[in-house]
């Protein structure tokens, strides 16, 4: 059975991710390694390596594998970074980040999802999860070399920009509730430059500074 998931994972990386232009070898390797089927509800395990998002309960979704890869590549992780993730959800993206960075701080607003993700991520000693409103960031642990938001925002939350280190990257979907553009924002001192990467659809980022 494990063998099967392993080969599905290799195929996922080749056909859905590398074929669409993701080149960062470290990202591809992490996606070949992390068992995505563990992070989806048990009855959907056989769909874990398919080319679309899946429902994880509580009205939330685990992102499409390609979107996880694209967003992770955009963070430009080399291995020594302190990363903030807003929207832990299933914890799958968190695991990918934990493979690629030094420390990962992840915030989830739904306690049950946070608890479940924490359990699945137990073996990663560099992962720190808390329940709360991630649009306010994690000020006690700032600054962050990279910040990833995995829910769609109406605008870029000010606290997240403020908690970005000099030279840091913030990857975030911004737009309406039903359609967003994925942006990478790069900080140089107090200047922030924006790049639009692709269009996308995420569940809404809820709360102050969100919807």
* Residue 63 near ligand SAH by CB under 6 A: yes
Q: How many CB atoms lie within 10 A of CB 162?
A: 12
* Residue 16 near ligand SAH by CB under 6 A: no
Segment holding 67, helix H or strand E: helix 65-74
* Residue 114 near ligand SAH by CB under 6 A: no
DSSP string, 13-38: IIIIIGGGT---HHHHHHHHHS-GGG
> Min. distance of Cβ 104 from ligand SAH in angstroms?
12
CA distances in angstroms from 199 to 74, 90, 103, 176, 209, listed in the order given: 14, 22, 29, 11, 21
DSSP 153: B
Catalytic residue list contains 63: yes
Residues 97 and 148: beta-carbon distance below 8 Å: yes
In whole angstroms, what is the distance from residue 171 CA to residue 192 CA?
12
* Choice among 7, 55, 63, 90 that is catalytic: 63
Sole binder of ligand SAH in the list 31, 36, 89, 95 (CB under 6 A): 89
> Min. distance of Cβ 136 from ligand SAH in angstroms?
8
Sole binder of ligand SAH in the list 13, 16, 30, 90 (CB under 6 A): 90
What is the footprint of ligand SAH within residues 41-60 (CB under 6 A)? Answer: 60
Binding mask 132-171 for ligand SAH (x = CB under 6 A): -xxx--------------xx--------------------
- The residues with which 103 forms a beta bridge, in sequence order, are 82
* Residue 64 near ligand SAH by CB under 6 A: no
Where in the sequence numbering do the catalytic residues fall?
63
Interface residues toward ligand SAH, by CB under 6 A: 60-63, 86-87, 89-90, 92-93, 107-110, 113, 133-135, 150-151, 203, 205-207, 210
């Amino acid at each position: 059975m494990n063998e099967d998931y392993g080969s599905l994972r290799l195929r996922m990386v080749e056909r859905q991710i590398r074929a669409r232009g993701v080149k960062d070898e470290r990202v591809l390797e992490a996606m070949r390694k992390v068992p995505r089927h563990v992070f989806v509800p048990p009855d959907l395990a056989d769909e874990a390596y398919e080319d679309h998002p899946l429902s994880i309960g509580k009205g939330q979704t685990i992102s499409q594998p390609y979107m996880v890869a694209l967003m992770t590549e955009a963070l430009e992780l080399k291995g020594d970074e302190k990363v903030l993730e807003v929207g832990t959800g299933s914890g799958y993206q968190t695991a990918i980040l934990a493979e690629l960075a030094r420390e990962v701080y992840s915030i989830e607003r739904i306690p049950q999802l946070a608890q479940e993700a924490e359990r699945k991520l137990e073996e990663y000693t560099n992962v720190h999860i808390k329940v709360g409103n991630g649009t306010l960031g994690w000020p006690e642990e700032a600054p962050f070399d990279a910040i990833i938001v995995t829910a769609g925002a109406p605008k870029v939350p000010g606290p997240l920009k403020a908690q970005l280190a000099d030279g840091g990257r913030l990857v975030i979907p911004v737009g309406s509730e039903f359609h967003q553009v994925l942006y990478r924002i790069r900080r140089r001192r107090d200047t922030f430059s924006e790049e639009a990467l692709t269009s996308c659809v995420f569940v809404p980022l809820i709360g102050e500074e969100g919807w």
